[in-house]
A and B are shown apart, each in its own frame.
Chain A
Amino acid sequence: MIKYSQLTCVKNCWVFDMAKLDVIIITGRTTDQGMAIDEKLSEEYMKSVAFCEMNEEDMKIIGVKDGDRIKVKTEFGEVVLFAKKSAVEDLEIPRGVVFIPMGPYANQVVGGRNGSGTPRFKGIKGVVEATQEEVRTIRELVVGK
């Protein structure tokens, strides 16, 4: 089924853009992120949080391989990350779901206020596409260039 987010307007004509994919974003802790948590300004920490884990089939749809750059967009913002193939076969991450480790990168695309005072960090609707843009450093994300 063609979804609205997969349509792009080119010269007053709506065309189907294969490179975009509707996803549900979940964020959370990983062991690597936990190990580097006290060294947040290090390269190890950046490596442990600046990726987006996805199902291999979904990666084929947007035309990216392990380590390629992708852009994740939600109503709260967008962020460029490295794509990562989910570790173990089909069940690891289901199709249509992506996982970003908790941290400054995930927080570019989370938000939502619903009365509980706790933002929604999981189950956020978003769009993923391939990009040539650079992955920004944590310093650039937080204090700008």
Chain B
Amino acid sequence: MRNAVCTFCGNVCDDIEFDGVTGKNLCPIGEAKFAAKRRIEAPMVRGRRVSYEEAIEKAAEVLVNAKRPLLYGWASTVNEAIRLGVILAEKLGGVYDQCSSVCHAPSTLAMIEEGIPGGTLGQAKNRADVVVFWGCNPVEAHPRHPSRYSVMTKGFLTKGRQHRHVIVVDVRKTATAYLATEFYQIKPGYDYAVFTALRSIINGYEKAVPEEVGGISKKKLKELADILINGKYGVIFYGLGLTHSRGQDRNVENIVKLVQTLNRHTRYILQPMRGHFNVVGAGEVAAWEAGYEYAIDFSRGYSRFLPSEFTAVEVLVRRDCDAALIVASDPAAHFPKEAVKRLAEIPVIQIDPHPNVTTLLADIVIPSALVGIEAEGTVYRMDGIPLRVKKLKDTEYWSDYEILKLMLDKVIQLKGE
């Protein structure tokens, strides 16, 4: 099939040619995604093989009997399934949270404070003559990003690598740094200070900037400010280097302010490098259903957003949940160990195609079809562009949507609504 869609990272490459076994145009991570792998063989309740219907019914019972279940994951499934997840959380009076709470959630907080001067990857491809990668490493995390959207690609107005000034700012010389025209190495945790210094220079307050900021000399900072301001159309891509280190949402706020400052002189947009293929959907769908993107508590019958209390890690560490439904995610591998400890204590229901670390802790395991290979639906690319992912081959596994639809029906039935 031509124009199949890869469902690994936020690039959501939609030019894959799939021959039933493997695909063309895939990056190494995409190839691994499309390759045959060990699957969860059948639905299981505490190690016993059961039918889909029985597993889903048991799961519904666990969720209904819990005081405050946590419904977490969602970034690697389709919007249609995510919508059912948000409704399920509301019916159960539980907590809805998604993968961005250990990823780009500080960007959401910054967006609430400052707004986001956004654009699409198409604009980056067609127009950008200055491309900045700040605290991100697309060569390893989004391997086709440079060739499809940002560095080597030939756009309508900017025709190829030689017409682009590529800047990489990071605390270590990453693989992406080798693509750069200029690489700036800063000290870990000094992004905020460097943004402030750049804003000061661009705004004409150069004298206020000390001789060295975050490991970069004033001379180099002035050079960087010049490159930025002389761009006709610039794109700043930033990654978890900002959201995971000292300052978190404040770092993102300051880079938004830097882009606002640059926009007084030229044209700049800002784009977070989102990880999973539909992590944007996991936020957007929740936002249109419940008003917020993540960390949503329904225990009072209406939605409340409080990231310091209702993100999955906080809910687990505070022991504020007594059951968990994990969909298309692996918190046991990716949460700090204190949170994983709590996950091991409570009943866990997992819906996932592959056995992973969470499977080791799960009481009820429900295998699902692989989104984009065995199941279709709508996803959002990292820049918010909706794309329809395709079903490329038949399977006996139920899709996330089918599993959650029946689970929601059972929950409604058990609650007598």
Contact = CB atoms under 8 A, between A and B. Distances in A.
A34 B244 CA distance: 19
A117 B311 contact: yes
B319 interface: no
A137 to B, nearest CB: 11
Contacts of B308: 113, 115-117
B12 to A, nearest CB: 15
Interface stretch (A8-16, A56-64, A88-96): A88-96
Q: Chain B: interface residue count, which band? A: 35 or more
Given A97-B188, A116-B249, A117-B311, A142 B355 contact: no
Interface stretch (A65-73, A100-108, A127-135): A100-108
Given A39-B37, A94-B171, A118-B105, A113 B317 contact: yes
B357 interface: yes
A41 B337 contact: no
B344 A31 contact: no
Contacts of A110: 336
Interface stretch (B25-33, B153-161, B397-405): B25-33
Contacts of A34: 8-9, 29, 32, 140-141
A47 interface: no
A41 B361 CA distance: 13
Given A39-B354, A107-B336, A118 B141 contact: no
A41 to B, nearest CB: 6
B310 interface: yes
B307 interface: yes
Contacts of B314: 113, 117
Interface in B130-157: 137, 139-141, 143
A118 B171 contact: no
A37 B109 CA distance: 28
B189 A123 contact: yes
A17 to B, nearest CB: 24
A107 B275 contact: no
A88 B173 contact: yes
Contacts of A143: 344, 360-361
B330 A40 contact: yes
A24 B335 CA distance: 19
A122 B137 CA distance: 14
B410 to A, nearest CB: 28
Contacts of A36: 32
B79 interface: no
Contact of A107 (B31, B334, B353, B355): B334
Contacts of A39: 37-38, 354
B245 A108 contact: no
A29 B337 contact: no
Interface string A15-59: 000000000101111110011111111100000000000000000
Contacts of A123: 188-189, 244-246
A27 B330 CA distance: 17
Contact of A122 (B244, B333, B353, B361): B244
A76 B330 CA distance: 21
Nearest to A93: B172
Contacts of A88: 173
A139 interface: yes
Interface in A75-100: 76-77, 86, 88, 91-94, 97, 99
**Which of A38, A110, A118, A143 has the most C-beta atoms of chain B within 10 angstroms of its own C-beta?**
A118
B23 interface: no
B212 interface: no
B189 A31 contact: no
B181 to A, nearest CB: 16
B333 A40 contact: yes
B102 A121 contact: yes
B338 interface: yes
Interface in B343-358: 344, 353-357
Interface string B187-202: 0110000000000000
Of all A-B residue pairs in the complex, the 8 with the closest CB atoms, nearest first, are: A117-B307, A117-B311, A35-B32, A91-B173, A123-B245, A122-B244, A121-B244, A40-B356
27 contacts: A27-B244, A31-B143, A34-B9, A34-B141, A38-B32, A40-B356, A41-B355, A41-B356, A76-B336, A88-B173, A91-B172, A102-B334, A108-B337, A111-B337, A113-B308, A115-B308, A117-B308, A117-B309, A117-B311, A118-B106, A118-B243, A120-B248, A122-B244, A123-B246, A138-B333, A138-B357, A142-B344
Interface of B: 8-9, 28-29, 31-33, 37-38, 101-103, 105-106, 109, 137, 139-141, 143, 171-173, 177, 185, 188-189, 240-241, 243-246, 248-249, 275, 295, 307-311, 313-314, 317, 330, 332-338, 340, 344, 353-357, 359-361
Interface of A: 24, 26-31, 34-42, 76-77, 86, 88, 91-94, 97, 99, 102-104, 107-108, 110-111, 113-123, 138-139, 141-143
Given A103-B333, A116-B307, A118-B105, 14 more contacts: A29-B141, A34-B29, A40-B357, A41-B357, A42-B38, A76-B337, A93-B172, A107-B335, A107-B337, A116-B249, A118-B248, A118-B307, A120-B245, A142-B357
